[in-house]
A and B are shown apart, each in its own frame.
Chain A
Amino acid sequence: MISSKTLSAALARIASHTEAASEELCSADGALGDGDLGITVSKGFAEAAATDLPEDIGMALLAIAKAFQRVSSSSYGTLLATGFMAAAKMEKGKTKIDPAGIPGLVAAARDAMMARGKGHLGDKTVLDSLDAVANALDHAPLEEMINVAIAAAAETAEQYRGKPNKLGRARMFGERSIGLLDPGQLAFLRIVEALRA
């Protein structure tokens, strides 16, 4: 079971892992966008990790969404905040997240982020990573969940490397984006990796 405390500890791990990956993410983003994704992501998780989370796990997830909004108004930050918000709504009033519900939470985050970002699966964005993770987790045994999620996120990033970006600023690069890792998918991989204690 995941409590607000577990969540805080995970946020701290993600904050330090994405901080370490910040340069890598900024340079991946610099090839297709404005080159600040590493900062957006690491700052967002640092702020979330520094936030005192309430015991109600729904309200804790809301506090994380707000932390993201506070420090990063970029579209990636807003999308991650949207994902946390979708999960927050489903968990409001509980003090623990049942791991069996995680695939459903990831899927809800994916759907809310698709609606808000007006994105589609196959556009080569973080949405593809979330979709792959949600589907992979659906059949995963509880103790294998983190490894399964990491593998799905890594496969997605590699699989889309050979495809063009179809959304946002990266779309302008068209065919030239083929061969490049999508920075948003790469960032998601680094986030999920950090969950492995």
Chain B
Amino acid sequence: MKKILNNPADYVDEMLEGMVAAHPGTYAQPVRRVIARAAGAKKGKVGIVTGGGSGHLPIFTGYVGTGLLDACAIGDVFASPSAEQMAEAIRLADGGAGVLRLYGNYGGDVMNFDMAGEMAEMEHDIRTTTVLLTDDVVSAPKEEAEKRRGVAGMVYAFKIAGAAAERGDDLDEVTRIAQITADACRSIGMALTPCTIPQAGKPTFEIGETEMEMGMGIHGEPGIWRDAIKPADEIAEEMLERLMADQPLAKGDRISILVNSLGATPAEELYILYRHARKKLDALGVEIVMPLVGRYATSMEMTGATITVIKLDEELESLLKAPAECAFWRV
């Protein structure tokens, strides 16, 4: 393992300490492993919390900020935070108007967040709702879409639900909009090389020097095929085809697209993927709104990319374009 760290056991805590120290106007860590807005919960505003394992920056903690999230519970690398930390995040996010739990569909996270919601309700009388991201089309067939994992679609959900909460929508409305957003997102990933969890010290999977894996999950979950690496255009083509097989796109549709690096893949290569995606969507007559290209949801130093497409209606589009700011992203 070759990593910049002190002690693997301190990896997450030292990362959070540094992040808060670098951006004191944006983040605060009032409770260990819970990041909240530096300014605290906004009175009368619906709170939005998320949570999950470390190792995915800017997901999850990075998106705490104006027009985005209010608080986030963070676990060890690729491990769920505890229910108690999640309950603390809910408490810190509460401005008296209730709290939406908005996160990716992973077994451990769901169990703990459900528990956290019950705790917050009992102890602090906070009303909570849940919306889960299930955007990874490879992780389960369409008939079992509710079993799919949540990946980079979270970025859109945080942005759009965050904007709804910021403009003063009530909890039911923010929840409704978050659910529509989650339902409109489809993602797929591909990987070239694995990453190493500091405390494990070994790569999360093995792959041949010249191979790629189509459809691989962000923690190295198995994908659709593994073979010799293909040219970028063919990769982009197949990824879009697979997304469109799940959610057809037609002339006149308005979408946003996120071409995301899993960590080590440079922006240059993301733009090569985007170039082909753009051509293909132009040819179909699909309108692209606010394309996002960069590092939005990563898996440490994994090499690879994900593509997310969200189908927009007028309301989602205006919320997507509303102002937002965190240390990693500004709209």
Within 8 A of B (CB), among A75-112: 75, 78, 81-82, 85, 88-89, 92
The answer to whether A70 and B82 have CB atoms under 8 Å apart is yes
Chain B minimum-CB-distance residue to A117: B111
Q: Is the CB of B265 closer than 8 A to any CB of chain A?
A: no
Q: Is the CB of B50 closer than 8 A to any CB of chain A?
A: no
The answer to whether B122 and A69 have CB atoms under 8 Å apart is no
The answer to whether B122 and A78 have CB atoms under 8 Å apart is no
In the bound complex, how far is the Cα of B5 from the Cα of A133, in angstroms? 51
Residues A69 and B123 in contact in the complex (CB < 8 Å), given A78-B111, A85-B118, A116-B111 = no
Chain B minimum-CB-distance residue to A92: B122
Chain B minimum-CB-distance residue to A72: B82
The answer to whether B84 and A78 have CB atoms under 8 Å apart is no
Interface size for A (C-beta < 8 A) is: 17
In the bound complex, how far is the Cα of B122 from the Cα of A65, in angstroms? 12
Interface size for B (C-beta < 8 A) is: 13
The answer to whether B115 and A78 have CB atoms under 8 Å apart is yes
Residues of A within 8 A of B123 (CB): 59, 62
A171 CB, nearest partner CB in chain B, Å: 15
- At the interface, is chain B mostly helix, strand, loop or mixed? helix
Residues of B within 8 A of A62 (CB): 119, 122-123
Residues of B within 8 A of A59 (CB): 122-123
Chain B minimum-CB-distance residue to A112: B118
Residues A69 and B80 in contact in the complex (CB < 8 Å), given A82-B115, A116-B114 = no
Within 8 A of B (CB), among A140-165: none
The answer to whether A73 and B114 have CB atoms under 8 Å apart is no
Q: Is the CB of A43 closer than 8 A to any CB of chain B?
A: no
Residues A69 and B118 in contact in the complex (CB < 8 Å), given A62-B123, A78-B111, A78-B112 = no
Q: Would you list the 9 A-B pairs with minimal beta carbon distance, nearest first?
A: A69-B83, A69-B84, A62-B122, A85-B118, A78-B111, A69-B82, A66-B84, A116-B111, A70-B84
A sample of 5 more A-B contacts (CB under 8 A), given A78-B83, A85-B119, A89-B118, is A59-B122, A65-B115, A66-B83, A70-B84, A88-B122
A residues with CB within 8 A of B: 58-59, 62, 65-66, 69-70, 73, 75, 78, 81-82, 85, 88-89, 92, 116
